């Protein structure tokens, strides 16, 4: 996906006579776009859920709420075992948002929103049937203290930072996806057009989705012609 996005952006910038750009700049702007769309997915999911509750969204393939959730699920890490250290569990380094935490696979840990809530629930003497937890820095504190193993969680991870890698041939940067540090765009495929728009905005260009479609079609036709030249 990353090379298609870059080629489309280049096609449009060339028509605007804006010149070339450094791959590092492209990677940085692209990652910002992924991060932005990632956060917007939750707003969109809530908006669609409200419309669905009002009977404004149909089911099946036309269910936009499910489509947004599918985009979010791209980032879900499931059944991740947590490591106990001293008096709490270490959280994954790529954690963005909690989904759920389980003790012994099927007992849900009640996650507190604050230390205040944790201390209030602590007074109710939580047990292994009704455990509680609270995030402290990059760790998870869980009660009762007998729980020091068999803890797993599902969560939404941070998007990976995409990197368009290349090889220089005759002073020209050629796409090289075989490089060890290559990282493709970490987003649901349906967000490709939105990412193109975000990257172009990062370069100071504003345009509508139909403009993107026209550029993409022109680029695909050009590639087809080049690949089929005798």
**Who contacts 130 (Cβ-Cβ below 8 Å, separation ≥6)?**
110
Quickly count: other Cβ atoms within 10 Å of residue 69's Cβ.
15
Task: Determine contact, residues 212/197, Cβ cutoff 8 Å.
Answer: yes
Report helix, strand or coil for 168.
Answer: strand
User: pTM to 2 decimals?
Assistant: 0.75
Residue corresponding to tokens 């629930």: 121
Task: Determine contact, residues 134/121, Cβ cutoff 8 Å.
Answer: no
Residue by residue, pLDDT tens for the chain (230 residues) are 999 999 888 888 876 555 678 899 999 999 999 999 998 888 776 665 555 555 544 444 345 567 788 888 899 998 789 999 989 999 999 999 988 999 998 899 999 999 999 999 999 889 999 999 999 999 999 999 999 999 999 999 999 999 999 999 988 889 999 999 999 999 999 889 889 888 988 888 876 656 666 665 655 565 555 445 54
- Give the closest residue to 202 by CA, choosing from 21, 33, 24: 33
User: Using only C-alpha atoms, what is the Rg of the chain?
Assistant: 23
pLDDT value at residue 190: 87
């Amino acid at each position: 996906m990353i090379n298609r996005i870059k080629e489309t952006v280049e096609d449009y910038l060339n028509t605007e006579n804006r010149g070339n750009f450094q791959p590092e700049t492209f990677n940085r702007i692209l990652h910002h776009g992924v991060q932005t769309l990632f956060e917007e997915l939750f707003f969109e999911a809530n908006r669609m859920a409200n419309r669905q509750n009002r009977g404004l969204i149909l089911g099946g393939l036309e269910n936009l709420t499910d489509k947004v959730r599918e985009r979010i699920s791209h980032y879900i890490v499931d059944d991740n075992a947590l490591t106990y250290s001293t008096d709490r569990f270490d959280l994954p380094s790529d954690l963005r948002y909690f989904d759920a935490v389980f003790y012994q696979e099927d007992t849900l840990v009640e996650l507190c929103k604050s230390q205040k809530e944790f201390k209030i629930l602590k007074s109710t003497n939580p047990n292994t049937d009704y455990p509680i937890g609270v995030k402290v820095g990059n760790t998870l504190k869980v009660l009762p203290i007998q729980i020091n193993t068999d803890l797993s969680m599902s969560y939404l991870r941070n998007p990976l930072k995409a990197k368009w890698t290349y090889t220089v041939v005759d002073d020209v940067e050629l796409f090289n996806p075989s490089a060890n540090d290559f990282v493709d765009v970490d987003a649901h495929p349906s967000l490709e057009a939105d990412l193109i728009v975000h990257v172009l905005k990062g370069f100071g260009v504003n345009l509508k989705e139909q403009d993107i479609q026209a550029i993409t079609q022109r680029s695909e036709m050009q590639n087809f012609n080049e690949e089929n030249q005798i």
